[in-house]
Copies of this chain bind each other. A is one copy, B any other.
């Protein structure tokens, strides 16, 4: 692993996810550029001192051929170079989103992974939820009929706890620095989850966007709120609402898909359930790992660990991505996790959104 020292959010999540199903272990790492934090994390994880590195280049050089994959949990601007170097060294990579800062870089990584026949995963957590997989499978089976409209939200209020007029703490500083995190904040950080989910569930492609971005938090220069009109393939449409200034919200991912025959609702707050409504019948509430699930959606069954009624959450969803990622490394076909294409296309989405916003919400093609 590169990055993700203890104290960070996503590093420990990767580690819990990796270990959950007993498929892999963390054996080497360069967890931080801060030496103290790096070694403290390594020690706590029981990593051998000989495999604790002070920079990622030496890690890749030394571990090449010894590790099955590399997890990249560093700030956004370093994703490209680390992932590229690892791939070129023949190492499979699970790289945090966004895959890179520019679309060009992402295209580059996608090409290298394909050429080297390596697995390049991008853990967009929410498609790891079993009920999201069920949603995708219901759409695929035609239960909703032709898809007309998608409404997707990712609402956070985290910026309401930060004073941007003062120097930011380490955890936030890089996220608000365009050089390190990229030109967009809310769209690149969480809007990409929404873009991925739209495509994952509907099987449609995001084609054009018309966007209205704002910077509401006093002192913040990057976008922290976005409303985006979206045109999908096959005549479908979508709306994305995402924010970092939605006071009081935590991680409000909620999606609705409206088809000709039925619609579905999934909310992360009730992540173990999926609601399906038809024009004339009762509403159906599907439960994770209930008796019928395997028949409808084998992957959502496979990605459940405990019986219906006992709840799984974020960490388990993340572990599902590693579960499928590891299976792919082991040569299994048709594994279900977000890959280079998803990492790349979501960055193209961000680029198009920024361009539209800069030109008075005019419609801009994606990719």
Contacts and interface: CB of A to CB of B under 8 A. Distances in A.
A220 to B, nearest CB: 12
B277 A282 contact: no
A219 to B, nearest CB: 12
A237 B242 CA distance: 13
A39 interface: no
Contact of A309 (B227, B243, B252, B362): B252
B313 A247 contact: no
A313 B308 CA distance: 12
Interface string A328-360: 000000000000000000000000000000001
Interface stretch (A88-96, A108-116, A148-156): A148-156
Nearest to A210: B361
A75 interface: no
A59 B317 CA distance: 35
A268 B363 CA distance: 33
A246 B263 contact: yes
B279 A148 contact: no
How many copies make up the complex? 4
A283 B273 CA distance: 10
Contacts of A268: 309-311
B19 A22 contact: yes
Contacts of A19: 19-20, 22
Interface in A292-338: 292, 305-316
Contacts of A214: 148-149, 237
Contact of A310 (B212, B283, B313): B313
B212 A279 contact: no
A61 B253 CA distance: 52
A196 interface: no
Give the interface residue-count category, chain A: 35 or more
A45 interface: yes
Interface string A1-38: 00000000100110110011110000000000000000
Contacts of A239: 227, 239, 241
A100 to B, nearest CB: 25
A161 B279 CA distance: 6
A154 to B, nearest CB: 10
Contact of A305 (B151, B258, B277, B315): B315
Interface in A241-264: 241, 243, 245-252, 258-263
A167 interface: no
10 contacts: A19-B22, A22-B44, A149-B245, A214-B237, A229-B361, A246-B263, A248-B277, A250-B290, A268-B310, A280-B290
Given A239-B241, A282-B287, A313-B313, 20 more contacts: A19-B19, A22-B44, A22-B45, A148-B214, A148-B225, A148-B245, A149-B245, A157-B277, A210-B210, A225-B237, A227-B237, A248-B262, A248-B278, A251-B307, A251-B309, A268-B309, A282-B286, A310-B313, A312-B314, A315-B315
Report, nearest first, the 9 A-B pairs whose CB atoms are least far apart.
A250-B309, A248-B277, A251-B309, A311-B313, A160-B279, A283-B285, A310-B314, A282-B284, A148-B216
